[in-house]
Structure 1
């Protein structure tokens, strides 16, 4: 099977999974807003920055990203599932960002055009994590930032899904640090507790 065919299958599977869940996605996680805002506050965004929410879903991060970069900044949200983007529009979050139906592993953006990328629950949905993270590095300027976030930590998420943490979990620090390094990033901060997972990295020149 060709790589292109495999990636197409992955995109189709992602859409099949998220599309029927889009309408009530926010209602399933009604208390996550403060966790998103707290994580975004740690990225170090400045007024006027350009930031992408990669795999933005219903856009829960977009208001906090807009607040961080101000009216002069640029906020983009990209997702492969039309139903999720439609839910973001219904929630009014299109007023905080430009929304694009796009695959974050092949972004329609020029090299180095962003100051930061935010990805909530992103890494587990990348068909080829190293290649996906390298694509995010491509569109971020040197010394720009990456935030990989989840509103609960690895143990809490595994318990929610009724399964144990496995040693090959990409979000484990011993796995994530070298994965980021191979992809053009340097891990600068790592938090994994029940109430939050947040890995911050800097784009290497």
Structure 2
């Protein structure tokens, strides 16, 4: 495990038990972002960096009982909280690094990723790994329940031009990684970048 991975694990392990209590009102935003993937019954979807699994119920509702829902996270404590919250029954939880997914090529219809991009140690290759497991034409939703400016204000820092989620940075990063950015929304009440897997 790299130092970057260890740092991410330590950061989230220390916060796992209180995570859902800190953000109790995010449910509707997660559901709306999951809906943006336009999933169909029977589809296969991954929540990459699923944390406590807040998106899993909405993803399960979209793909139905015959669909496949996977939740992958690097932090055992976050997956334990997902189980404790009753979300483990919504899909299969995997202790896995999104940079090296234990999945075949092109097996998924979509990937949902909340707050993930700022925690990727190698954003280009890591997004390419997400592209690898998605069929051509499949979708990626990069989501955060608040926008870039609101998130920066919450952390007491300014928004910077170097932010990977800024559209001028994100669009070429996704393109180099096998994705085409289709929808970009960055408002105080949410961030959503919706991309399609290139052929």
What TM bracket, shorter-length normalisation?
A: over 0.9
Detail structure 1 runs of 4+ shifted over 6 Å in the superposition.
Answer: none
Give SS of 1:24's match: helix
Is there any run of 5+ residues in structure 2 with no aligned partner, and where?
none
Q: How does 1:62-141 map to 2 (within 5 A)?
A: 62-141=56-135
Is there any run of 5+ residues in structure 1 with no aligned partner, and where?
1-6
Give SS of 1:51's match: strand
Q: How does 1:151-190 map to 2 (within 5 A)?
A: 151-190=145-184
Corresponding residue number in structure 2 for 1:3: none
Q: CA deviation at 1:11?
A: 1.1
Q: CA deviation at 1:82?
A: 0.3
Task: Measure the CA separation in 1 of the matches of 2:120 and 2:86.
Answer: 27
Q: CA deviation at 1:43?
A: 1.1
Q: Say what the alpha-carbon RMSD is for the aligned residues.
A: 0.6
TM-score by length of 1: 0.96
Q: Deviations over 1:54-93 (max 9, x none)?
A: 0000000000000010001000000000000000000010
Q: Deviations over 1:123-153 (max 9, x none)?
A: 0000000000000000000000000000000
Corresponding residue number in structure 2 for 1:45: 39
**How many corresponding residue pairs?**
199
Corresponding residue number in structure 2 for 1:4: none
Q: CA deviation at 1:8?
A: 1.1
- Residue 19 of structure 2 is aligned with which of 4, 25, 48? 25
Corresponding residue number in structure 2 for 1:34: 28
Task: Measure the CA separation in 1 of the matches of 2:114 and 2:134.
Answer: 17
Q: Deviations over 1:15-54 (max 9, x none)?
A: 1111011001000000000000011111111100000000
Corresponding residue number in structure 1 for 2:136: 142
Task: Measure the CA separation in 1 of the matches of 2:60 and 2:153.
Answer: 33
Task: Measure the CA separation in 2 of the matches of 1:63 and 1:135.
Answer: 24
TM-score by length of 2: 0.99
